[in-house]
Amino acid sequence: MQTTFFGKLHAQGIISDASFTKIKQQEDKQLLSVHWELKTLLYLGILLLTTGLGIIVYKNIDTIGHQAILVFIALLSAGSFYYCIKTKPPFSLNKTEAPNLFFDYVLVLGCLSFISFIGYLQFQYHVFGTRYGLASFIPLIVLFFSAYYFDHPGILSLAITNLAAWAGIAVTPTRILAENDFNSNSIIFTGLLLGVLLILAGLATQKKQIKKHFEFTYSNFGTHILFISCLAAMFNFDATYLLWFLLLLGLSLFFYLKAQAEKSFYYMLLLTLYGYIGVGYVVIRLLFFTSNNSDMGAIYIALLYFIASAIGMVVFLIRMNKKLKAV
């Protein structure tokens, strides 16, 4: 707060008691921003609305009818897109602000409704037959176009998620670990390729000055997919796990330099966590490989390693945070 600064000036006798009192009164009258609280509530409202509509449809499917549901979803999506097209600002390669408070949420509703419409068509009527990729590819095109046309990073996130689904990967890291079978070599290599493409897309976006604020969205997804795919390769390919570990170290170095250049503690945190998992896997594997499985000494050393390495990781992150802030 500014009061602390003026308090020092008051203590040094630079400003008078009366002036300092007026400054404190002015500071106390400042409005409290609830911007993010309102945005969170509005996004939550969109999610609750779509969830509620889904529950209503599920419970009344016999009385409503599939055609009526499809028409309703189509009208909801078309109406949302019509509103956004009529109210959006002129297209620009730079960042544009939403024309009003509700624009972003109507756009999200329109995109989610469109995805539901395509999914419903495929599930109920098998419009695309066994070409399931096509059912993902059409929303993929619409979402990417909408993200750039309406300048919405949230829609870009939906588009990247759809791209990953189309490529056979669930993007969210927890879902990657929980739902996908990383014993499949094709999924691992697909993840590595997709991660590289997303990182390159982020770099190109920034270099070409085309919606350069989208760079973080591309890089964020690419970072998680690359690291998780690399770790999965380490766990899956026993004979070459050290080569994959070297790739993990290379990725860590790349994102370390990126974090330094952008003064981003977020990337520093990610490379530290993923790197910690990779190093821990190699250390424990080598430790138990050089000892008997029944050797309690190896277990004690492993426990000490985890304790010491966890402390070292925390100290490293604290120091890097201070270093990034000081630069």
Compute the 3-state secondary structure of the chain and give helix, strand, coil in percent, each to the nearest 5. 80, 0, 20
Closest C-alpha among 37, 14, 38, 146 to residue 91: 146
What confidence tens digit (pLDDT) does each residue in 166-217 have?
A: 887 544 444 554 555 545 677 888 889 999 999 999 999 999 999 999 999 9
pLDDT of res. 127: 82
Which tokens belong to 109? 């509703």
Residue 301 corresponds to which tokens in the numbers above? 């050393």
Q: Are 176 and 169 in contact (CB under 8 A)?
A: yes
- The Cα–Cα gap between 316 and 310 comes to 10
What are the structural domain ranges in the chain?
36-166
Both tokens of residue 259?
Answer: 């974090």
pLDDT digits 0-9 by tens, 50-60:
777 667 666 76
As a whole number, mean pLDDT of residues 38-55 equals 72
Largest CA distance in the chain: 81
Sequence-distant (≥ 6) Cβ neighbours of residue 321 within 8 angstroms: 265, 268
d(CA 104, CA 153): 10
* pTM (2 d.p.): 0.78
Inform me whether the pLDDT recorded for 164 exceeds 60. yes
pLDDT tens track for 305-325: 999 999 999 999 999 999 888
Whole-number pLDDT of residue 203: 94
